[in-house]
Amino acid sequence: MRRILLISVLITMCSFCHAQNANVQAKIAEIRKMYNNEMEWINTMLGDETIPDDYITSKVRHNIAGTGQAEETIEFFFNDDFDEELGKYVSSLDFVRKTSVYTIAERKSYEEFLYDDAGFPAFYYTSFTTYLEDGDHYAEKYVEIRAYYDKGVLFHTICKLGNDNSSLVEVPLTEELENQLFFGFLQFGKLKDALEGMLN
């Protein structure tokens, strides 16, 4: 009797885990489709002179302690929709690309921020080189992190690590890389505020 009960519980748990995994994969596929549609629209908009542009490119140069002169290029892609309640056009941020180059430390990082139709974070991507603990010493590593959000709530991450972008393997997030992900998430709100400040 106990054996039958144990087998029933295990089958139920396996079914539940499979359903959860299928749900996660479906959400990831939906976000990837949203991302691909956004990339297609950006390429169409930038490549067709007859389509009005809805983007801002911002270049920021500043000195950062320990890394020297830094240059950031931030591209804001947005749309203007008429808000019936407000009775005016309102700009909403769809996608941001951000490249940062640090001269003394010779580091470069790249980030992408995708917002859903309601303005919540949907997807975050970053790639960068950094020094990470590798046994008894630190080694320079290339990192890629992808984070998927459902209405702004993180539900899945993929972290890859390698000596360069051709040797990447998937690894669990370390505490240091979780911090990178956390600071990336905070930028979603800051970038929306920055666009609002530039347009209004």
pLDDT per position as a tens digit, 142-157: 999 999 999 999 999 9
How are beta strands 121-134 and 107-115 bridged, if at all? Answer: antiparallel
Could you give the residue ranges of the DSSP H alpha helices within the chain?
A: 2-47, 175-199
Bridge partners (DSSP) listed for residue 100:
72, 109
Q: Is residue 66 a contact partner of residue 105, using CB atoms and an 8 Å limit?
A: yes
Q: What's the pTM value of the predicted model, to 2 decimals?
A: 0.84
User: What's the residue count for the chain?
Assistant: 200
pLDDT, tens digit, 9 for 90 and up, residues 9-68: 444 444 444 456 778 899 999 999 999 999 999 999 999 888 888 899 999 888 877 667
- pLDDT at 16 (0 to 100): 45
Bridge partners (DSSP) listed for residue 196:
none
Q: Is residue 119 a contact partner of residue 93, using CB atoms and an 8 Å limit?
A: yes
